[in-house]
Amino acid sequence: MTAIHTLGELRASGYPIRSVKDEMRENLLATIARRETTFPGIHGYERTVIPAIHNAILSKHDVILLGLRGQAKTRILRSLTSLLDERIPVVEGCEINDSPLQPMCKRCRRLATEKGDDLPVAWMHRDERYREKLATPDVTVADLVGDIDPIKAANQRLTYADEEVIHYGIIPRTNRGIFAINELPDLAPRIQVALLNILEERDLQIRGFPVRIPMDVVLVFSANPEDYTSRGNIITPLKDRIDSQILTHYPQKVETAMQITSQEAWTERASKVKIEVPDYVRQLVEQIAFVARDSELVDQSSGVSARLTEPGAPRGHDGGDDDLPAPFRLRHAPSGDHRQSGDGVRGRAAGRRGRGPEADRHRGGEAV
Ligand SMILES: [Zn+2]
């Protein structure tokens, strides 16, 4: 396929026109038919989260993953690219990855008219078709959707209504791909409104100018349910338009947790001393996380990340944006709380004890 360099050759090859959702659906069906694993490296979700994701993709839904920190939400979203074709044809040099068979932007439509079958085709790899944004209060509509570039308009003597004066944001640049927004409730409500149009109409409108560019983008989101109330919210019309809401969870079995830790923790180090960690110690470490998740001494609203048990691993090794430095936080009595102060002291002391074996393992691992 990648030997094809012009529109004429692409047409002759019989390459189909299909949306990203159709592409993912067909590739998922093929993967299931071959009895291959769809999300390698994700453990403990085989009977819960993964079938729900399969259903969402087969139904061509946009998806939101709801769950606490350290439940592999970001990792799942990133691995959706494995369901994309390895490469797709795009009009060479197009900012929004137009299909040569269906050019959408003004530049490519003009080029297609000028060059006909000689329209140059480039091949885009699936890794380039996934982009993500961590929702923070400073994200603007211009970042996500785009803005008018007044200098371009002045230089080229174009009006603001001309689509060639648009500076595209990250979503149109992910056209024909997957766009992920992590921690959606943190996105300001007016920005969420801007996403509505893309979800509903599948097109782009910039600053109210009637530039309509059809978008073919799969939108996926993650959110921590706790943040709904504490930091922000998902506006109702947007929530209604995200068809599949999938709840993630922590590992249900110690064995699964051990599997995750041994996959993620940085234990194979170039060291002169070989460290043997017996299985019962590994189990114990996981058990601490399990107990912490049930403990009233631990602030459950922050969650006890599956990463708690892998403190030796370098930070950011899986790039999980949804994690915060503290593996788990103790529940602090809010000011004005009427509980007796002794409670808090006991809580903190017990908490320190709770962390003891964990910390010891860490120190031991480093010192030996
Ligand atoms: Zn284009």
Beta bridge partners of 214: 203
The reply to whether 1 falls in a domain is no
Clarify whether residues 199 and 278 are in a common domain.
no
Q: What is the mean pLDDT of the chain?
A: 81
Of the three residues 191, 223, 247, the one that is the final residue of a domain is 247
What does the pLDDT look like over 44-63, one tens digit per residue? 999 999 999 999 999 999 99
Clarify whether residues 310 and 344 are in a common domain.
yes
Q: Return the number of other C-beta atoms located less than 10 Å from residue 21's C-beta.
A: 18
Q: Report the predicted TM-score, pTM, of the whole model to 2 decimal places.
A: 0.78
Of the three residues 247, 263, 279, the one that is the final residue of a domain is 247
Top mean-pLDDT range of 31-35, 38-42, 301-305, 347-351: 31-35
Residue 108 Cα to ligand 1 midpoint, Å, equals 4
Clarify whether residues 226 and 283 are in a common domain.
no
Clarify whether residues 157 and 282 are in a common domain.
no
Clarify whether residues 17 and 33 are in a common domain.
yes
Q: What CATH number should be reported for the domain holding residue 52? A: 3.40.50.300
Number of domains in the chain: 2
Name the residue with tokens 């964990």. 358
The reply to whether 209 falls in a domain is yes
Token readout for 243 is 């068809």
Of the three residues 183, 214, 247, the one that is the final residue of a domain is 247
Please give the Cα distance from 106 to 115 (Å, whole number): 14
pLDDT at 315: 34
Clarify whether residues 265 and 233 are in a common domain.
no
Q: Which domain holds residue 321?
A: 254-362
The conformation of residue 70, written as its DSSP 8-state character, comes to T
Overall average pLDDT of the 30-40 stretch: 93
Clarify whether residues 131 and 34 are in a common domain.
yes
Residue 118 and residue 145 in contact, taking contact as beta carbons nearer than 8 Å = no
pLDDT at 189: 87
Please give the Cα distance from 124 to 86 (Å, whole number): 8
The reply to whether 137 falls in a domain is yes
H-helix or E-strand spanning residue 218: strand 218-223
Please give the Cα distance from 154 to 142 (Å, whole number): 19
Please give the Cα distance from 235 to 190 (Å, whole number): 9
Residue 343 Cα to ligand 1 midpoint, Å, equals 64
Residue 172 Cα to ligand 1 midpoint, Å, equals 11
Overall average pLDDT of the 158-166 stretch: 80
pLDDT at 292: 87
The reply to whether 172 falls in a domain is yes
What does the pLDDT look like over 239-295, one tens digit per residue? 889 999 999 999 988 899 888 888 888 777 777 887 777 888 888 888 888 888 888
Clarify whether residues 69 and 137 are in a common domain.
yes
- How far apart are the two ends of the chain, measured CA to CA in Å? 54
Higher pLDDT, 161 or 48: 48
pLDDT tops 90 at residue 91? yes
Clarify whether residues 54 and 85 are in a common domain.
yes
Clarify whether residues 163 and 262 are in a common domain.
no
Percent of the chain exceeding pLDDT 70 equals 82
Residue 220 Cα to ligand 1 midpoint, Å, equals 24
Clarify whether residues 327 and 312 are in a common domain.
yes
The reply to whether 353 falls in a domain is yes
The conformation of residue 103, written as its DSSP 8-state character, comes to -
pLDDT tops 80 at residue 82? yes
Overall average pLDDT of the 137-159 stretch: 86
Please give the Cα distance from 87 to 17 (Å, whole number): 14
Distances in whole angstroms, Cα of residue 271 to Cα of each of 265, 267, 274, 275: 16, 10, 7, 9
Helix axes 279-294, 341-367, angle to 10 degrees: 160
Token readout for 338 is 């009427």
Please give the Cα distance from 62 to 330 (Å, whole number): 36
The conformation of residue 15, written as its DSSP 8-state character, comes to P
Name the residue with tokens 């915060």. 324
The reply to whether 100 falls in a domain is yes
Please give the Cα distance from 138 to 113 (Å, whole number): 41
Name the residue with tokens 């349910």. 225
Residue 93 Cα to ligand 1 midpoint, Å, equals 8
pLDDT category at 231 given cuts 50, 70, 90 is low
Q: What is the DSSP string of 68-98?
A: -TTSSHHHHHHHGGGGS-SEEEEETT-TT--
Residue 13 Cα to ligand 1 midpoint, Å, equals 21
The reply to whether 368 falls in a domain is no
Candidates 213, 234, 215, 214; CA nearest to 223 is: 234
The reply to whether 266 falls in a domain is yes
What does the pLDDT look like over 293-351, one tens digit per residue? 888 888 887 778 877 777 633 333 333 334 434 443 444 434 444 443 333 333 333 33
pLDDT at 138: 86
Residue 112 Cα to ligand 1 midpoint, Å, equals 10
Please give the Cα distance from 127 to 74 (Å, whole number): 15
Residue type, 355: R
pLDDT at 357: 41
Residue 22 Cα to ligand 1 midpoint, Å, equals 21
Residue 117 Cα to ligand 1 midpoint, Å, equals 16
Residue type, 50: I
pLDDT at 242: 92
Clarify whether residues 115 and 66 are in a common domain.
yes
Residue 25 Cα to ligand 1 midpoint, Å, equals 25
